[in-house]
Every structure is written in C-alpha cells, then in structure tokens.
Amino acid sequence: MTTLAKRPEPLSAAGSRILRIETFAVPPRWLFVRVETDDGLVGWGEASLEGHTEAVMGAFASLRDRFLRFEADRIEDVWQTAYRLGFYRGGPVLMSALSGLDQALWDIKGKRLGLPVHQLLGGRVRDRVAVYAWVGGDRPDAVVEAARQRIGQGFKAVKMNATDGTGWLDSPRALDGVAQRLADVQALGLDAGLDFHGRLHKPMAKQLAGILEPLRPLFIEEPLLGEHPEAIRQLAGLTRIPIAMGERLYSRWDIKPFLEAACIDILQPDISHAGGISEVRRMAAMAEAYDVALAPHCPLGPIALAACMQVGLSTPNFTLQEMSLGIHYNSEAHDLLSYLKNPDIFAVHDGMVAALTAPGLGVEIDEDRVRDASREHQPWRNPVWRGPDGYVQEW
C-alpha cells in the first residue's frame, strides 16, 4: 500500500541527514548552493540559470520541504524523488534547482569517502581534460586580440560568435565577414567552433553552413533552435561540419529525439541546467550509444566547471570542456577563480586542465567571499537585441 507523507523519510536510520540547504546569488549571474549535513559536512553545487535566478531560488522552497532531514548519501533517491514527485517535470527552472542540489550531494559523498567524484563514477578514463574558451569582440581586430590572449592563457581551442542574427530571410551580405573572422583566428594556430546561438532560421543557417564548410571549424553550435528538430535533421544532411547542441535540453528525454534522428554530433548539456552530475552522466551514456561526443556547456562559475570536469574525467565519449575564464558580462569582467581558495586547480597547460584530485568536486570555496558577494548581488537580465526593423532577436 502506498503511504503519503508530507516529507518522505529515509527508509533506514543509517547515514547523516541534510540539515541545511542555502542558496547564494553572486556576481555576475551565478547561483551557488550550500548543503550541510547533521555531522558537519558541507557540499557545494551550482544552480545558475542566467537571467532567472529568483525563479530557481523559489524552486528551492519545495526542495527544502522535501529533503531536510533526508539521508544525504541517497543521491539517486533524492534525484528521482525531486523529479517524479514534482509532477510538472523538467524545464530549466526545476532542473537547474535539482542540478545544484545534486552536485552538492556528490560533493558531500566524495568528502565523506575521501575521494574525488570521478572515482565514485567508475574512475578516470583520462588524466587531463581538454578545454576551450570564448573569444568575443565587435570588430575583427578585437576578435583576433582576444584569441591571442587565449593562446597566452594556454588554450589551443576557442569558440566564437557566428553572427548577431538575421531574420528568416535576409540579404546574403548579412553573413559577410563570418568566414574571415574564423580564418583570422585559425591563422593564429587555434581550432575554433562557431556558436550560432539559435539566432538564425533555416534559410540563412543553410547558407552560413555552406560558407563555413571549406574552413573546417571544430563545430557549429545551435545552428538552429532545438524547437525545430526536423530542420536540424535537414541541415545535418547538407553539411559535413559537426553539429553541436544541448544547452537548452534539460534531460535524457529531451535529447532522445535528436539522437534517434542522428542529426547531432556533439552533445552539450549544461550540468547546472540538466539535472546535475547524475543526469548528465546518463545523457553521456545515451549519447555514446549513438556515437555522439560529450562537450558540456559551461559559461558559468567554478563549481559548475569542477562538476563538469568530474564527469569528463570518467566519461569515455567526452571530448572538450567549455571554460568561462575571463568572459565579460554587461561590460564587467568576472573572475572564475575569485570564489576559490585553490584557484590553481584550473590552470590551463597545452590546452588542458589536469585531473582534480581533492575529495568531492575538488573545489575549496571561500565561504566568506560567497556570503559577502551575495549581499552585493544585483539581478542580471538577458540583454535585448533587435533587428533593423525593430523585431526582437534571439539573445
């Protein structure tokens, strides 16, 4: 017989319990999660959902109701309970909240056992993680200068903006300059992917993919929005460039139609949006069965990056990790390392970051800095872009 209870209790009395769940909104646009157990262990996660921090913080009200006093080691039970008993499943807000909680519980379990999380996921299949970073700029010379800075930081691969967007059908001249910017960056010795960011529609995306193909970029990311799986399937049949997407897909059920259609080559789930370590690990295993690589999306903070690395170190089909070192938001630079006591763990050498070896996620969070920063945080909102005719365009 099914028993209904206000808050599910663990089935056994063993193990430490979740005593406290806190969230901290910190600059530039991140949401950190702190989970403390009744025996004094603390784990950190990241539930950042850019532009929607308040919504995710609100989702934590129900997670606290359900999981305070729950056994901290029962990570999968927590995940399944949060996902299935929410009834209204999936989506960016609920999955981002679950992501932060999941990461923090993995961090706690690793610390309890004295092992890095990748050891709990089966152990390392590699010793280093290949990384890439963003290069931006409004002018070609600014893009090249940003790319040179990445080389100086140790990167061998970058991602850059493909276009600011067009209408459903625009002048082909709107695409002029994209190939030249890519060629200029490649001339420095860097490999480069192009991020369409879902800004194009099919008539223009087909043209731009054709323009770029002779230059052999690493990938084209979100050439079309995931709302159009039939169009992505059509585009995949027209280009030999690897197609990457996944930052706006939040579960294994969301990625299933794209894998079945064999229309993507690189899966890019965001570990802070897609159910945390537990779900991204499952998504990676699904992708491997379809010969699709994993390259987690992560223009976020140090906790999310550490969680991505733990998955990457233990996942056979992992290929490349996004790293948000030195990105600018709203003209203000953020420092990926400013919330860490051990910033050297993310040092880039020859395009790679060495395996994280400390227990848990491997990051030592400066809690005083986090608490101070959360008191200064101002809500961040996505910028509004409009075309020449005034119609809103994809950010």
Per-residue model confidence (pLDDT) at position 8:
46
Task: Give residue 332's pLDDT.
Answer: 46
At 382 the pLDDT is 83
- In whole angstroms, give the CA distance from residue 157 to residue 100: 28
Q: Is 334 a catalytic residue?
A: no
Q: Tell me what pLDDT residue 15 has.
A: 75
pLDDT of residue 138: 67
**The predicted structure's pLDDT at residue 326:** 52
Q: How far is Cα 353 from Cα 231, in angstroms, rounded to an integer?
A: 36
Q: Is 91 left (phi over 0), alpha (psi -120 to 50) or beta?
A: left
With residues binned 3-state (H G I as helix, E B as strand, rest as coil), the percentages for the chain, rounded to 5, are 35, 20, 45
Whether 182 is covered by a domain: the verdict is yes
pLDDT digits 0-9 by tens, 86-110: 888 999 999 999 999 999 999 999 9
pLDDT in tens, 126-171: 999 999 999 987 677 889 999 999 999 999 999 998 887 777 777 7
Q: What is the mean pLDDT of the chain?
A: 91
Q: Is residue 33 part of a domain?
A: no
Q: Is the pLDDT of residue 175 over 90?
A: no
Q: What is the pLDDT of residue 5?
A: 44
185, part of any domain: yes
Inform me whether the pLDDT recorded for 115 exceeds 50: yes
The answer to whether residue 160 sits within a structural domain is yes
Query: Which pLDDT value is given to residue 335?
Result: 74
**256 pLDDT higher than 90:** yes
Number of domains in the chain: 1
How confident is the model at residue 386, as a pLDDT?
85
User: Is residue 64 situated within a structural domain?
Assistant: no
Expressed as residue numbers, the domain containing 165 is 118-364
> Sorting pLDDT into bands at 50, 70 and 90, what band is 2?
very low
pLDDT of residue 6 exceeding 70: no
Could you tell me the CATH number of the domain that includes residue 259?
Answer: 3.20.20.120
- Would you state the pLDDT for residue 330? 38
Q: Is the pLDDT of residue 12 over 60?
A: no
The partner residues of 128 in beta bridges, in order of sequence, read 354
Higher pLDDT: 329 or 348? It is 348
Task: Examine residue 335 and state whether it is found in any structural domain, yes or no.
Answer: yes
Residue 99 lies in a domain: no
pLDDT above 90 coverage of the chain, percent: 77
Higher-confidence position of 331 and 220: 220
pLDDT at position 90: 93
Q: Is the pLDDT of residue 282 over 80?
A: yes
State the DSSP H helix or E strand holding residue 244, giving kind and residue range, or none if neither.
strand 243-245
Q: What are phi and psi of 266, to 5 degrees?
A: -135, 125
The active-site residue, picked from 118, 201, 273, 297, is: 297
Give mean pLDDT, residues 244-259. 97
Rounded Cα distance between 373 and 370, Å, is 5
Whole-number pLDDT of residue 71:
97
* CA-closest candidate to residue 136, choices 285, 325, 389: 325
d(CA 60, CA 101): 9
Do residues 238 and 270 touch, judged by C-beta distance below 8 A?
Answer: no
In a domain, 96, yes or no: no
pLDDT digit string (tens) for 40-66?
999 999 999 999 999 999 999 999 999
Q: Which one is catalytic: 118, 197, 201, 334?
A: 197
